[in-house]
Amino acid sequence: MFKTLVSLVLLLAAAAVSIPARAQAYPNRPVKLLVGFPAGGSTDLAARILAGRLSQSLGQAFVVENRPGASGNIAAQEVARAAPDGYTLMMAATSFAAAPAFFDNLLWDPVKDFTSVSLVATVPILVVATPSLKVGSMKELVEHSKANPNKINLASPGATTLTRLSGEQFKKTARLDWVTVHYKGGAPAMQDLLAGFAHVMFANISDVIAQVNAGKLTPLAVTTAARSAVLPNVPTLAESGYPEASFSTWQGVVGPAGMPRDVVDRLNAEIRKVVAAPDIKAQFLTLGTDASAGTPEEFGSLVRDEVAKIKRVAVSVGATNN
């Protein structure tokens, strides 16, 4: 009996120290951070900034690997199938939560098949107008649109993009008869907007900040709940009188489902330190994003809420494929 009791005590003691020991040991080899988009985009650049600082603070290389294709689905599928040991992660963007709304027979679930580690940044959607409209606020844009029915073209960079959904949601909320024009990507949409053939566009702020700063586009509002540090003088849609039309995009780190909690907590703590650093915040601002982090639970809740919201909005505007 005494030997059994001693064995049990030793077993419990070993279990008590095993979790901290594992957390201290992680990482003991390089970590892959997958990005589902080509090199050079805002998600890729944010991932490289984060990976560089994590490599320094954790003493192991965090290696960014690009797996572009299918709006990030290829990278997501690879991560979902990886061992949940913390050595295969992904810098997810909002398209990760949008996938169930836009793709039939998706082979992974953004909630069930992944571990949420941390939010990294928010990417405000900015409402911009061609200067030829001569409007300086959302109120003026709505008034001008209603005074000129069926004459305002809404540039959409793609039928299944979050920026398209944001524009369509506002169009429906404000009861406008804008003509939505779909383009094969942001570049041709921007070209027509700058030329005045399109009049309004909801775009990731990082994609249009150069044109805004050059005076080639008029910024009207950001769709996020709070103003962006990128353009602090531009009001939100809520401040403009349309709180129900708020919409945002984001970037965050996820891993396969079932990651050990101690590994998640270690990664989360380090990521929060990174994005709180003034120099990192400044680097993110140059990308047109706001560095932001929180707990794994907060990020997990955001992903769940976004999956439901995006599907609801996609259905309401007729953009879903399923």
pLDDT for the residue numbered 316: 85
pLDDT for the residue numbered 77: 97
pLDDT for the residue numbered 10: 44
Listed in sequence order, the residues at least 6 apart from 300 whose beta carbon sits closer than 8 Å to its beta carbon are: 111, 116
Q: Residue 116: what residue type? A: S
Question: From residue 288, how far is each of 27, 45, 122, 124, 259 by CA, in Å?
Answer: 31, 11, 9, 8, 31
DSSP structural state of residue 244:
G
Q: Residue 83: what residue type? A: A
Q: How far is CA 183 from the centre of its chain?
A: 21
pLDDT for the residue numbered 187: 84
pLDDT for the residue numbered 143: 96
d(CA 168, CA 180): 8
pLDDT in tens, the chain (322 residues): 444 444 544 454 454 444 444 445 899 999 999 999 999 888 999 999 999 999 999 999 999 999 998 889 999 999 999 999 999 999 999 999 999 998 888 999 999 999 999 999 988 899 999 999 999 999 999 999 999 999 999 999 887 788 889 999 999 999 999 999 998 888 899 999 999 999 999 998 888 988 999 999 999 999 988 898 889 999 999 999 998 888 878 999 999 999 999 999 999 999 999 999 999 999 999 888 889 999 999 999 999 999 999 999 889 888 765 4
Domains identified in the chain and CATH numbers: 6-123+248-316 (3.40.190.150), 125-245 (3.40.190.10)
d(CA 73, CA 83): 18
Supply φ then ψ for residue 107, to 5 degrees: -90, 5
To 5 degrees, how large is the angle CA 227–CA 233–CA 236? 35
d(CA 96, CA 36): 9
Tokens 């109120």 — which residue?
139
pLDDT for the residue numbered 321: 58
DSSP E strands in 22-124: the ranges are 31-35, 62-66, 88-93, 114-123
**pTM assigned to the model:** 0.84
Supply φ then ψ for residue 282, to 5 degrees: -65, -40
Structure tokens at 19: 């979790």
Are the C-beta atoms of residues 288 and 205 closer than 8 Å to each other? yes
Rg (C-alpha) for the chain, rounded Å, is: 22
d(CA 273, CA 9): 37
Taking alpha carbons only, the member of 82, 101, 33 closest to residue 61 is 33
d(CA 262, CA 245): 38
Structure tokens at 239: 């401040």
Are the C-beta atoms of residues 89 and 33 closer than 8 Å to each other? yes
Tokens 């984060």 — which residue?
50
